[in-house]
């Protein structure tokens, strides 16, 4: 189609925040652009109302289900601003002839940096230290060095690889499990590939870099946590649904695990009464792994380019469905 006739919906709330050119260039190429009026992910009903008459959709973490897509009378492409597509009804999209794309690797550096930040913050009790000093205290908090510790990575895709690169200077042992691991990368960066059970049982810090799939949902359950090394730390910058939160709470309260760094929860935002949030050994962040200038700009450009490519009749670079 002629892009000058196209109407685009952008629901990703950080689109263009760090690079205004994303908005000006998109607006210059199409007939009109509708931006998310709520400032947060859209519900199915909200999305259904906005999709009518829209040709292209640059999508955030909205509920993109069959009910919403049935109202999309002209939609040709859903360009996910991010990697995960678990919030998209792919079967419905295929039935309706809607192309789905994503932006793999766009946020991998930023998420890896946050995972490393959480590891170091847990190791050195940074939140407790900052809070104490602000209260006029001067405690001698004991910390851990990463030197000679084992960092376990579940998932050695784009994000896991970036974290492994950043761990090189800490003189730690890096172990990883990934069913599709790149052995050449592992050799180059000194990553020891092993089975999941061995990585889980050996790691002092276990960092999750897993997609949300039927086989990974609630993977980190009571049985899984019982296999972790006593006194170990769990870091999750992937998806909240990968972790059984009641089981994690029990492992922390019993002392089996020493702490956790969580950037994702099963329900977001989590209920303030979520008991994990009252534990001082839990560092919780608001799913901000991809919320950096570099990541949001990368995701924006990749999503926009694939969205416009499909509308022009070209093959997108990162087709999912």
Q: What is the helix (H) or strand (E) element at residue 298, kind and residue range?
A: helix 293-312
Structure tokens at 107: 């946020």
8 A C-beta contact, residue 148 and residue 173 = yes
Among the options 113, 209, 239, 245, which is catalytic?
239
Longest dimension (CA), the chain: 66
Q: Measured between alpha carbons, how far is 298 from 16 in angstroms, rounded to an integer?
A: 10
Structure tokens at 62: 């909205």
CA 165 vs. chain centroid, Å, equals 19
Among the options 80, 173, 209, 287, which is catalytic?
287
Is 239 noted as a catalytic residue in this protein? Answer: yes
Question: What percentage of the chain's residues is helix, strand, coil (to nearest 5)?
Answer: 40, 15, 45
Among the options 268, 278, 315, 319, which is catalytic?
268
8 A C-beta contact, residue 82 and residue 61 = yes
Contacting residues for 264 by C-beta, under 8 A, at least 6 apart: 236, 237, 238, 239, 240, 242, 287, 289
Peptide bond into 310 cis (omega under 30): no
Q: Bridge partners of 261?
A: 235, 283
Nearest 5°: CA angle at 111, between 106 and 115? 160
**Count of Cβ atoms closer than 10 Å to residue 262 Cβ:** 23
Contacting residues for 18 by C-beta, under 8 A, at least 6 apart: 293, 296, 297
Closest CA to 61 of 202, 212, 205: 212
User: DSSP H helical segments within 124-244, as ranges?
Assistant: 126-134, 158-166, 183-188, 196-202, 222-226
8 A C-beta contact, residue 73 and residue 313 = no
Q: Which residues are catalytic, by number?
A: 239, 268, 287
């Amino acid at each position: 189609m002629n892009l000058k006739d196209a109407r685009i919906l952008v629901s990703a709330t950080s689109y263009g925040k760090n690079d205004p050119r994303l908005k000006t260039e998109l607006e210059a190429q199409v007939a009109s652009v509708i931006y998310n009026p709520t400032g947060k992910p859209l519900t199915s009903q909200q999305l259904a109302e906005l999709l009518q008459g829209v040709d292209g959709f640059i999508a955030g973490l909205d509920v993109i289900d069959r009910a919403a897509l049935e109202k999309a009378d002209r939609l040709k492409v859903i360009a996910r601003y991010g990697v995960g597509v678990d919030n998209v009804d792919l079967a419905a999209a295929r039935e309706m002839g809607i192309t789905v794309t994503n932006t793999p690797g766009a946020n991998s550096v930023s998420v890896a940096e946050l995972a490393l930040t959480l590891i170091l913050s847990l190791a050195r009790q940074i939140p407790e230290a900052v809070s104490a000093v602000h209260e006029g205290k001067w405690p001698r908090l004991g910390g851990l060095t990463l030197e000679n510790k084992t960092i376990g990575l579940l998932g050695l895709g784009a994000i896991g690889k970036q974290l492994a690169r950043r761990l090189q200077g800490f003189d730690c042992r890096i172990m990883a499990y990934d069913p599709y691991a790149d052995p050449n990368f592992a050799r180059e960066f000194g990553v020891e590939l092993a089975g999941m059970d061995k990585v889980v049982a050996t790691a002092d810090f276990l960092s999750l870099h897993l997609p949300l799939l039927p086989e990974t949902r609630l993977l980190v359950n009571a049985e899984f946590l019982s296999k972790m090394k006593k006194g170990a730390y769990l870091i999750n910058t992937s998806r909240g649904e990968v972790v059984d939160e009641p089981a994690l709470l029990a492992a922390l309260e019993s002392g089996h695990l020493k702490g956790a760094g969580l950037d994702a929860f099963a329900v977001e935002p989590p209920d303030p009464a979520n008991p994990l949030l009252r534990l001082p050994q839990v560092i919780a962040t608001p799913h901000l792994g991809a919320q950096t200038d570099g990541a949001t700009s990368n995701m924006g450009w990749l999503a926009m380019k694939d969205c416009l490519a499909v509308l022009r009749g070209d093959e997108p670079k990162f087709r999912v469905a």
